[in-house]
A and B are shown apart, each in its own frame.
Chain A
Amino acid sequence: MSLWEYANPKKFMDWTAPVLPWVAGSAALCLSVGLIWGFFFTPDDFRQGSTVKIIYLHVPAALMAINAWLMMLVASLIWLVRRHHVSALAAKAAAPVGITMTLIALATGALWGSPIWGTYWEWDPRLTSFLILFLFYLGYMALWSAIEDPDTAADLTSILCLVGSIFAILSRYAAQFWSQGLHQGASLSLDKEKNVSDVFWQPLVITMIGFGLLFLALVLLRTRTEIRMRRIKALHARARRA
């Protein structure tokens, strides 16, 4: 069986129904363990004090904000090339999840920046590119709701997604591209010397997995809703023609 058959709306509904509760349950478990461990059972950082506890929200949310857009990019490309409706609907379903993650990353970043940098906001390359990514999410969602014909909406939002991908990538690598600004480089590294201490790393990894699973669960749930909404429209259109 071809992989593309799973993108058939009927097949998609069939295989996601039993998978969804497991993904959602695993997300809840990972988030509970990671956040409780990080908040209650990790020490203060020698430089940042207790503010290090914000890392368990800020880093996973920022990671998912960027990856959500990249997932939308892949789904949009599939729509543009192969015209699979489920991929366009999955991209549409991911946008509200991605914008929420972006908002969390911006809010927690500002709250973390206040005691550490002495300011809530700075026009730093990474912060600015993240703000532009947030605006792209807003524009993407607005474009979906502004166009009545779903195929035209999928075409135009896919193009917008391609353009916005530049800022998704910039958000990730801005601190490396321009070695200036307040924001530090990546907190996580395969190089043990550069990586955060194990005591913070372990709950952080669990929280990141939790955010990833939560994103997946919400995208599956919302895509299923979009498919049902499309079906309702099709049935109404058929009734009108009859």
Chain B
Amino acid sequence: MPDLGTYAFEILMSYGISLGLLGALICVSILQSKRVKAALQQVENNG
């Protein structure tokens, strides 16, 4: 871990918030994709 000195809070918060938001966006996109893919398959099988 590099020595971040007095700015550790700002730097770590920046990385935490950014990676958290990106991670959430990726997870939501993948889950939604899987859910819709399954729903389409079900509709096509039924129809």
Contacts and interface: CB of A to CB of B under 8 A. Distances in A.
B7 A50 contact: yes
Interface string A208-228: 000000100010011011001
B25 A107 contact: no
A199 to B, nearest CB: 14
Given A50-B2, A224-B33, A225-B33, A104 B10 contact: no
A58 B5 contact: no
A172 interface: no
A138 interface: no
A111 B10 contact: yes
Contacts of B30: 221
Given A224-B33, A225-B36, A61 B18 contact: yes
Contacts of B4: 50, 53
Contact of B18 (A57, A115, A218, A229): A57
Contact of B10 (A114, A228, A236): A114
Given A221-B33, A232-B40, A51 B11 contact: yes
Interface residues of B, number: 30
A54 B29 CA distance: 26
A139 interface: no
A contact residues, range: 35 or more
Nearest to B9: A111
Contacts of B43: 232, 235-236
Contact of A108 (B7, B18, B26, B47): B18
Interface string B1-42: 111111110110111011001100110011011001101100
Contact of A228 (B8, B11, B40): B40
Contact of A115 (B7, B25, B47): B7
A83 interface: no
A53 B17 contact: no
Interface stretch (A95-103, A121-129, A158-166): A95-103
A51 B25 contact: no
A39 interface: yes
Interface of B: 1-8, 10-11, 13-15, 17-18, 21-22, 25-26, 29-30, 32-33, 36-37, 39-40, 43-44, 47
Interface of A: 35, 39-40, 44, 49-51, 53-54, 57-58, 61, 96-97, 100, 103-104, 107-108, 111-112, 114-115, 214, 218, 221-222, 224-225, 228-229, 231-232, 235-236, 238-239
16 contacts: A35-B15, A39-B2, A39-B15, A40-B1, A50-B2, A54-B11, A100-B21, A103-B21, A107-B21, A108-B18, A114-B10, A221-B33, A222-B29, A225-B32, A232-B39, A236-B43
